[in-house]
Amino acid sequence: MSESAIPQQPQRNPLSRLWNDKEARSVIIQIFAFSCIFAFFFFMVRNAMYNLEAIGKDISLDFLWQPSSYDISQSLIEYNSRSTHFRAMIVGILNTLLVAVSGIILATVIGFLLGVFRLSKNFLINKLAYVYIEYVRNVPVLLHILLVHGLIVHTLPLPKNAVNVADAGFLTNRGFFMPKPSMEPMFWLVIVLFVLGIVFTLWFRRYAKRVQDATGRHYPVFWICTAAIVGIPALAFLVTGMPLAWEIPELKGFNFRGGMVIRPEFIALWLALSLYTAAFIGEIVRAGITAVNWGQTEAAFALGISRNRTLNLVVIPQALRIIVPPLTSQYLNLTKNSSLAIAIGYMDIVATIGGISLNQTGREMECMTIVLMLYLTFSLLISAFMNWYNQRIKLVER
Amino acid sequence: MKLTKTTALAAAISLTALTAQAGTLDDVQARGELNCVVTTGLAGFAAPDENGRWEGFDVDFCRAVAAAVLGDPEKVKFVPTTGKTRFTILNSGEGDILFRNTTETMSRDADLKLTFLPVNYYDGQGFLIRKDLGIDSAKDLDGASVCIQTGTTTELNLADFFRVNNISYEPVTIETNEEGIANYTANRCDVYTTDASGLASTRAALEDPSAHKILPEIISKEPLAGAVRQGDDQWADIGKWVVNAIISAEELGVTQANVAELAAAATNNPSINRMLGTEGNMGEMVGLDAQWAVRAITAIGNYGETFDRHIGPDTPIALERGLNAQWNNGGILYAAPIR
């Protein structure tokens, strides 16, 4: 085609020509967008600095090393009111991690069950799971937390009327009290055997796979591994005469003393977060399994592969690829939602360093930055782990 | 790399470009409304009544300041805050002045950059407990579960008290007074602790107040005072002298009923004349007019009147004057003279 074939364009100024060029336009828009974002953050930071300057406040983390002067009801490490704010922060971090990790585990278990129930051909199970999921995920999680906490605190009895479980455990509205084990020397044998069992399992699974690849011989891997991890240590435990001493909680004055206690605040937060997130996980699991073409199952059956092995070797590996990425978001949500703990007085990060410490020292900027950084770190760690897992289970093409 | 350099440069420039801050008095008068930081709800001190109108002892001081500064006690916007958010709200400029049963302490004064007004209620931390538990002293509370409001000096006093007396407790830390009461009534904790005045208010709001009692021990000094941001001396002076005027009015016998009459012409008491502007012009010194105190007293009456109206013996809160009586009447309420 020759130049003359194109109708003569009216001469435009160079700016509009630049704008009409697709490449240049996209660069211009990106530069503009970036400048806006930069200007926004620049303004925010400058504004904060200006205002802190105006009231004469500096930014310093020295307060972290001063005594916190407050008590915390649930602490996984040694802590008292003479400990530093830094230690209070660690207590908060551990409490957050505790509820996040136990929440993720429980939510995953319940979620997978719900997903499977939703696919069940049994009308009752199917509809029950359906109603549960629709109810739970359409009510804000904060209400679930308050509801569970309210139920525990209002319905369970006071310590003096505690529900007695075999004279060892006690259910009260101040918490669930149970015996605390303390190890006697021989117990180390059990621990050593347990660790050895895990090491053996790791080795044995590879060995069994090698044997199967080479000879087609199939070991009952699951049962052998269970025996190694659980059976042998349990046997050792019995043979050495159960080398554990139990400290039984006792009612003294207002409350039970001794033993271990799980506070209602932890239980409420843990259950509420798990039950709530499980509803979402259930739908993700259902979607993942449904997404694997039924033809694959039929093909597996046609090859004479049993129902269980079809599920384990054909359906689940493919479903996981669909399930894991959205599952990661749910884990992140659960972790972040745990910051609602303050509503019922569970002492997590927000309640300790982002709450009482902030208030007693007046270091809003520093404390909120620390809290922000901590949540960011947790979320990135969970993402990194789940990405690694996703990488591991992705389709291996041969 | 380039980005970080640019950011650093920009931040450096911004630091040098600081401008001066306008006076709070001008801001408030230009706005025509006083933003007063109060509690989210503590009967007798600051709580909305059934018509949604804020009422209470702290609220009255807000209205007195609004009357002095703006000429109208109704031109107040109340900013309800939790123990946690109150200072941030004040310091960020969302509130102009704070009357929120707040204890004056050195670290708040110096480190949180506040300026405290004269104390308007002398308080101390106590314990509220069910009578049927048969406890008569706070020292018998070993092992008890204690409900406590976060963001207050009370959680520090509590830790110190139990530590010094070598007894243990389980803190149940909640965010607001309402949640504290909810946990206490659900028996989640044996004891509720806060300032004795707050306990009286809380107890009055319980279903059966007679089933609960306040233990005799007062474990701390809690001088409750209003506060403003540090750095605006004129505004701090206004707050300070409005509170002093309300307290002085009681001492001088000026009441809501007789203030108009006393302010009409000079009396034979120069102290009253100076306060009510019939002699000299004290208001001018803090950027107001001569009638500032007249308006404040007209709005809420003197200290004794607002006390009796909201928290005194004839109210459900039923607090005695105690320490809060005038200095010449057995208390420690002692306002600096207006002269």
* DSSP-assigned letters across all residues of A206-270: HHHHHHHHHH-----HHHHHHIIIIIHHHHHHHHTT--EEEE--EEETTEEESSEEE-HHHHHHH
pLDDT of residue A257: 80
Tell me: the pLDDT tens digits for B148-186?
988 778 888 899 999 999 998 989 988 777 888 888 998
pLDDT over threshold 60, residue B16 = no
pLDDT over threshold 80, residue A143 = yes
Tell me: the pLDDT tens digits for B267-317?
999 999 999 999 888 999 999 999 999 999 999 999 999 999 999 999 988
Tell me: the pLDDT tens digits for B230-276?
889 999 999 999 999 999 999 999 999 999 999 998 899 999 999 99
pLDDT of residue A397: 66
CA dist., res. B319 & res. B334, Å (int):
19
**Confidence band of A390 (pLDDT split at 50, 70, 90):** confident
Q: How many CB atoms lie within 10 A of CB A308?
A: 8
Domain of residue A121, CATH code: 1.10.3720.10
Rounded to 5 degrees, what are φ and ψ at A96?
-65, -45
Chain A residues with CB under 8 Å of B155 CB are 70-71, 356
Region B35-58: what's the mean pLDDT? 92
**Confidence band of B1 (pLDDT split at 50, 70, 90):** very low
Rounded to 5 degrees, what are φ and ψ at B228?
-130, 170
Q: Are A133 and A125 in contact (CB under 8 A)?
A: no
pLDDT of residue B14: 43
Lowest-confidence pick of A72-86, B10-24, B196-210: B10-24
B54's tokens = 């804020």
Residue A364 half-sphere exposure, CB side, CA atoms within 13 Å? Answer: 17
pLDDT of residue A260: 84
pLDDT over threshold 60, residue B31 = yes
Q: CB-CB: which of B7, B159, B186 is closest to A71?
A: B159
8 Å CB contact of B91 and A55: yes
Question: What's the total number of domains in chain A?
Answer: 1
Give domain limits for chain B. Answer: 24-123+223-326, 125-220
pLDDT of residue B7: 47
pLDDT of residue B76: 95
Chain A residues with CB under 8 Å of B171 CB are 70-73
Residue A142 gets which letter from DSSP?
H
Chain B residues with CB under 8 Å of A73 CB are 170-173
pLDDT of residue A9: 58
What percent of chain A shows pLDDT beyond 90?
38
* Residue A143, in any domain of the structure: yes
Cα angle for residues A17, A18, A22 (degrees, 5° grid): 105
What percent of chain B shows pLDDT beyond 90?
56
Region A137-149: what's the mean pLDDT? 93
Region A173-195: what's the mean pLDDT? 84
- Structural domain boundaries, residue A271: 85-158+265-393
pTM, rounded to two decimals: 0.79
Residue type, A296: Q
8 Å CB contact of B15 and A49: yes
Residue type, B84: K
Q: Which residues pair with B55 in a beta bridge?
A: B47
Mean pLDDT computed over every residue of chain A: 87
**Confidence band of B4 (pLDDT split at 50, 70, 90):** very low
Residue B83, SS3? coil
Instruction: Quote the minimal CA–CA distance from B5 to chain A in Å.
Output: 13
Closest CA to B41 of B84, B89, B74, B81: B81
pLDDT of residue A179: 85
8 Å CB contact of B159 and A264: no
Chain A residues with CB under 8 Å of B229 CB are 55
8 Å CB contact of A56 and B230: yes
8 Å CB contact of B158 and A71: yes
Quick one: CATH architecture of B24-123+223-326? 3-Layer(aba) Sandwich (3.40)
What percent of chain B shows pLDDT beyond 70?
94
Instruction: Quote the minimal CA–CA distance from A185 to chain B in Å.
Output: 31
Chain B residues with CB under 8 Å of A264 CB are 188
pLDDT of residue A11: 62
pLDDT over threshold 50, residue B10 = no
8 Å CB contact of A360 and B156: yes
Tell me the angle at which helices B2-16 and A22-54 cross, rounded to the nearest 10 degrees: 40
Chain B residues with CB under 8 Å of A150 CB are 186
8 Å CB contact of A55 and B163: no
pLDDT of residue B15: 40
Please check whether the two domains, B24-123+223-326 and B125-220, share a CATH topology. yes
Instruction: Quote the minimal CA–CA distance from B137 to chain A in Å.
Output: 14
Lowest-confidence pick of A27-41, A230-244, A352-366, B80-94: A230-244
Chain A residues with CB under 8 Å of B111 CB are 361-362
Q: Which residue is associated with the tokens 């308050």?
A: A146
pLDDT of residue B17: 37
For chain B, helix (H) and strand (E) counts, in that order, are: 14, 12
Q: CB-CB: which of B163, B190, B229 is closest to A254?
A: B190
Tell me: the pLDDT tens digits for A233-282?
888 888 877 777 778 888 877 888 877 888 999 999 999 999 999 999 99
The yes or no reply on domain B125-220 and CATH 3.30.70.380 is: no
Tell me: the pLDDT tens digits for A282-302?
999 999 999 988 899 899 999
Lowest-confidence pick of A9-18, A185-194, A252-261, B146-155: A9-18
pLDDT over threshold 60, residue A133 = yes
B298's tokens = 């007209």
Residue A253 half-sphere exposure, CB side, CA atoms within 13 Å? Answer: 16
The gap from C-alpha A64 to its chain's centroid, in whole angstroms, comes to 27
pLDDT of residue A76: 86
- For testing contact with chain B, the best of A55, A149, A177, A357 (most B CBs within 10 A): A55
Better-predicted residue by pLDDT, A59 or B147: B147
Containing B148, the helix (H) or strand (E) segment is: strand B144-149
**Confidence band of A50 (pLDDT split at 50, 70, 90):** confident
8 Å CB contact of A361 and B111: yes
8 Å CB contact of B171 and A50: no
